[in-house]
Structure 1
């Protein structure tokens, strides 16, 4: 195994692909810790800042919400984000007048208006008892900040970088769930068909050929309409449509290995068929299974992106790279095509990485179908 790993990582393309996949997995795990917007689903909307260019900067006034959100514990916040206790007002400038702050509210490039707030309405209760100067200082230090949107904002004024980071969770999760489901079903049915042959093989191959004749997207549509739309439902639907190729490959491999001498010897020793399959045959086809798992991972990411683009995948406000393209594809013909191009590039890189890694594994393991 160590020899195969060393051989695999002698290929520069495989190293680059593994780095892209590893980096995406780390981003998915630490998405909310890395995101500038750590609110649930990175869904902080500042409508005045809609569709801004990458690198755009704007000063924001943090205004406490009338009803503060319930506090989340750290473990929950790690996975779901932390609801913000503030509303965000973009401003051009501000100045103080006694116990009030006046701000030039940014509406558009050439539009603004002036809004007045009492300092006591903005600062925490512990600061309200202090002097006016102390309240002004606190406000300047903690509730007036200049924010940079490194990848710009979408049409609703949400930070694209944050949405992109949190959206990586969907692509990685759909890959894992789809691969686990498809490989598990493929191993079970492919093993039964290839090892026992006869009527079992004919029945399983009939099902495989029937499903093979149905376009994948139509099959996913049918399953989605049956079990519903949602985060886990779409993952299960994709996984239940991708086992066919795995089952065909595993069946073909087992049909060859069942005739080998060590299998004949295991039968002569009285070992059960289940033990022969899982202890003696399947370990010898782990290479082809790993290759098709990498291929299925890439396919699952593309299918999920396509379904989200069509509106039957992950539902708003949860970010998904395919959903981000759907929300902004009409900007491709304007001066802000990056709104759709950025998530498209993310999908392309991740799918490319899995395909390259799968091809490299095929070369190293010398898999022949």
Structure 2
């Protein structure tokens, strides 16, 4: 009689793995709410803003470019909760649609920045020596200029457009992110099982994919979450200077620049509501990023 235990089919293991992942997510969210209530509040703000961005067409009562000079400069009221601008456009609808632009720009630019910065950081930290020296000198040269200035330079080269803004913000901020990823890679590179893999002849690609990348996921999440609020703020600054998403597509920074600044005294609501939305988004991402850093960073978690 065979004493070998029958192996569990893959189809039977899949539901168990899904339940385990769901259980880990629930435990993490419970820990976040219990230990970092401010971070949980920030996560709720981010979730609400993402829902508003996705369902802007259903939430906004008017199209963002629906004009009527007969209702220009109406004060906030029952008909128009946030008032109207100089062309009679509903400010509430434009703030809602502006959330879509700001969230999309923030997420896309952060993705580009983390991917590019992560690639530079991993290659620099893992291979070291001459490649590390070369890449870090390039990072030093890039960081000698303010990020906003570099973003404007890239926008001047690419021209106006939504994707131009995304690329400019993502590329201009990628190099500072590489420093954090490089530091995490240097730690992982010295772990015993990485050295053992090298000793038995494992390829560098195998080690990077199987050992290095899984161990720097937490730093990548921390970098991305802390960076999102900053990117949204930079997008608003670029739009305020006239280099952002071209009209008539609304963005919070563009609304502050195009109409809010011009009609500040006559119609202050044109600046107040986009400014509040921008502040709320930056606050939500920042406190969520700080909470994730405290929970995912083992040095802070131990304390």
- Unaligned runs of 5+ residues in structure 2 are 1-23
Distance in 1 between the 2:28 and 2:215 partners? 15
Distance in 2 between the 1:305 and 1:293 partners? 18
| Structure with higher helix content | 2
Task: Give 1:367 deviation, angstroms.
Answer: 5.2
33, 38, 58: which one pairs with 1:13? 38
Distance in 1 between the 2:38 and 2:98 partners? 25
> Is 2:68 the counterpart of 1:43?
no
Q: Which has the larger radius of gyration?
A: 1
Task: Give 1:237 deviation, angstroms.
Answer: 0.7
Q: CA RMSD of the aligned region, Å?
A: 1.5
Cα contact 1:231–1:315 (8 A) shared by 2 = yes
Task: Give 1:245 deviation, angstroms.
Answer: 2.2
Task: Give 1:368 deviation, angstroms.
Answer: 5.2
Runs of 4+ in 1 over 6 A off after TM superposition: none
Q: In the alignment, what sits opposite 1:167?
A: 98
Cα contact 1:167–1:321 (8 A) shared by 2 = yes
| Structure with higher strand content | 1
Distance in 2 between the 1:182 and 1:230 partners? 18
Q: In the alignment, what sits opposite 1:23?
A: 48
Q: In the alignment, what sits opposite 2:57?
A: 32
Task: Give 1:43 deviation, angstroms.
Answer: 0.4
Distance in 1 between the 2:88 and 2:298 partners? 49
153, 177, 185: which one pairs with 2:84? 153
Where in structure 2 are the equivalents of 1:71-90 lying within 5 Å? none
Distance in 2 between the 1:161 and 1:277 partners? 48
212, 219, 223: which one pairs with 2:143? 212
Say if 1:162 and 1:180 are closer, same or farther in 2 by CA, change over 3 A: same
Task: Give 1:5 deviation, angstroms.
Answer: 3.3
User: Number of paired residues?
Assistant: 274
Q: In the alignment, what sits opposite 1:260?
A: 191
Where in structure 2 are the equivalents of 1:97-108 lying within 5 Å? none
TM-score, scaled relative to structure 1: 0.72
Distance in 2 between the 1:278 and 1:222 partners? 35
Distance in 2 between the 1:4 and 1:19 partners? 15
Q: In the alignment, what sits opposite 1:329?
A: 261
Kindly indicate whether structure 1 or structure 2 has the higher relative contact order, using CA contacts under 8 Å at least 6 residues apart.
Answer: 2
Distance in 2 between the 1:155 and 1:169 partners? 22
TM-score, scaled relative to structure 2: 0.87
